[in-house]
A and B are shown apart, each in its own frame.
Chain A
Amino acid sequence: MSEKTLDQCKEVVELVNEYLGHALTAEDRAAFEAHLATCPPCTAYLAQMKTVLNLASSLGNAASHAEVEPQLMAMFQHWHEKKSR
């Protein structure tokens, strides 16, 4: 049985998400990696996508250290007083 090959770059880019999410079959993964080994632009595309995902997750780490707005604290106080009545 011959090994699966991925010849065209435009097919490879459609598999990048599944590759990054470890959702490819072993056969597809091997074909994807074999293509990448000989294709600088697809390697660059994968690197771009990794950068996008790393930057996106870093956006989520930006917890606020600012003071909580007074009206939000007042709202909390009001809610608790109303509930306690």
Chain B
Amino acid sequence: MIRHAADLETVAALLRGEHEAFTSLVRAHQPAFLRLAQTWVRDRAAAAEVVQQAWVSALESLATFEGRSSLRTWLFGIVINAARSHVRARKRTIPLSALIAEEAIDGPSVEPDRFFQDGEWVGHWSSWPTPFPSPDNALESERLRALLEQAISALPPLQQEVMVLCDVEGLSGEETCNILGISGTNQRVLLHRARAKARALLEEKLSDKVKT
């Protein structure tokens, strides 16, 4: 078992009450925590409250952290639980199995009407993808990032969580499955669907900008 030595040191510093250790931890993870909380709690102020509650829960159970996973993975799990509990408390809960049934379904990555339906070129593009602008300067890169943020936040919650954990935060498929309590097959389908939708939404938003 890999122990996360640096994380265990951080935990020891937190248990000693070192403010610098807490400040560094918050600075490193607060943006990701807010993004994860907002997959369930759209309102930013409410999501910030959920994150604060997650920090409280994390500190309360800090002594149980054993370094089996990275501290970041452990904390992500706490944030997601806090966000789901927040939703559950407001009786708007949908069982995880129902969400999986709804979101982890196979379907085409690209709308079928983008391809020729018959004739010599059946299955080939009839409406070609428009190349995205290259994020080669800071302004363009910032604009594209903002559009992608919007596209990701428009995804259904589980797809959004999987894409945030895998593609934004760089977690492995296995870590993502452990945090979300889903199977590897469902994780792969959810990620596939999420990326395909995010690409399509980004393409749509960029073509809207061209038209206007």
Contact = CB atoms under 8 A, between A and B. Distances in A.
Do A and B actually bind?
yes
Contacts of B23: 68, 73
Interface in B168-209: 168-170, 191-192, 195, 198-199, 202-203
Interface residues of B, number: 50
Contacts of A5: none
The A interface, classified by DSSP as helix, strand, loop or mixed, is: helix
B43 interface: no
Residues of A in contact with B, size category: 35 or more
Contacts of A64: 26-27, 30-31
A44 B148 contact: no
Contact of A59 (B112, B149, B202): B149
Contacts of A41: 125, 128-129
Interface in A9-40: 9-11, 13-14, 16-17, 40
26 contacts: A9-B125, A10-B108, A10-B112, A10-B123, A14-B108, A14-B109, A17-B191, A17-B192, A41-B125, A44-B129, A45-B110, A49-B199, A52-B148, A53-B167, A55-B135, A57-B170, A58-B145, A59-B148, A60-B169, A68-B22, A71-B52, A72-B52, A73-B22, A75-B55, A79-B60, A84-B17
Q: Which 5 A-B pairs have the closest CB atoms?
A: A8-B123, A80-B17, A56-B167, A41-B128, A41-B125
